[in-house]
Amino acid sequence: MKTRSQGSHALVNKLRFKPSRDIPSYMMVLPAMVFLFLFTYMPMYGIIIAFKDYSPFRGIMASYWVGFKHFGFLADESFWRVFRNTIAINIYDIIFGFPIPILLAICLNELVSKRFKKIVQVVTYLPHFISWVVVSGIFVTLLNPQFGLVFKWLP
């Protein structure tokens, strides 16, 4: 006489794959999987271009294989100078670019005049929302020695 436990079969039946029940879950995961495939795995196909003499007219696979020819600049001494300059600029950017906005925010928080505080906030935050071309045009216009507002206010 064989005896079987009823509890384990109930759990197995509950965990069994049922397509009609699981389709909504798969539909929720599908956009994330498509995004992951398009922006993570598809660009890996483009790595081949680095090792070929790529021509848009020939396509990726029909272009000639050149190996490491395009990576010859890594052995040049100017590469290491450019590399050191890039690292130095980034370190300076972190050292000077990180604490200054925090100090500005602390100083603005301590201002008594609400109107002046708002004006300074607008002047400092506005360039983040405008194109750099427009910002440079505004500064060139304001600082123009012939008709700029800054030079009209100076004695």
Pairing status of strand 59-65 against strand 52-55: antiparallel
Does the residue 53 lie in any domain? yes
Q: What is the mean pLDDT of each run of 10 residues along the chain (155 residues)?
A: 60 68 87 94 85 87 89 88 94 90 90 91 84 86 85 75
Q: Is-above-0.75 flag for pTM?
A: no
Does the residue 84 lie in any domain? no
Does the residue 117 lie in any domain? no
Q: How many domains does the chain have?
A: 1
Does the residue 102 lie in any domain? no
Residues spanned by the domain of 35: 8-70
